[in-house]
Amino acid sequence: MATRSTVPMAACAMFLAVLSAPRAQADELRLVTPPLSIYREQIRPPATTLPVPSGYTRDHVVHGDRVFHGEAANGQCSVCHGIDGKGTPNGNDLTAGMFVWSDGSVRELKRTILHNMAVAPGMDGDLKPEDVDAVAAYVWAISHQDP
């Protein structure tokens, strides 16, 4: 009789352990980084005070800001990357200064942006080369903001 009841009890204990494990893990993750949410207050960085990459002008950054936010060249960047560039479930954070596909230089960012457009035609708007230049400078600028 005793052996019969220990099996279901052990199974029950294992089940409870499995149930509580993911919750403990989620709590740990929350301490490190807040969950990505589009419901945070998304503040558009001020294009007039953002840093300007060398070889570019304030006009590039200001125009890039307009492209990024759909006010020029039908740019759609902020739809996926957020008004503040900090990301949504559909596009990653571009402000952290860490890039998966490049070293974060304007030149390399430009290459990534052009490549994105090649794999997803129409998703990035109607960008002319000068718009790509400007928006690459803008992405550099938002990834070099003062904390």
Assigned token pair, 69: 């936010």
Tokens describing residue 135: 């928006």
Question: Closest distance between ligand HEC and the C-beta of residue 55, in Å?
Answer: 18
- Residue closer to ligand HEC by CB (options 25, 90) is 90
Measured CA to CA, the distance from residue 18 to residue 53 in angstroms comes to: 50
The β-bridge partners of 88 are 91
Gyration radius of the chain's alpha carbons: 23
Rounded least distance, CB 49 to ligand HEC, Å: 20
Q: Is 101 in the site for ligand HEC (CB under 6 A)?
A: yes
Residue type at position 123: M
Site for ligand HEC (CB under 6 A): which residue of 50, 62, 77, 141?
77
Q: Binding residues for ligand HEC, per CB under 6 A?
A: 75-77, 79-81, 90-92, 94, 99-102, 109, 112-113, 116, 123-125, 127, 135, 139
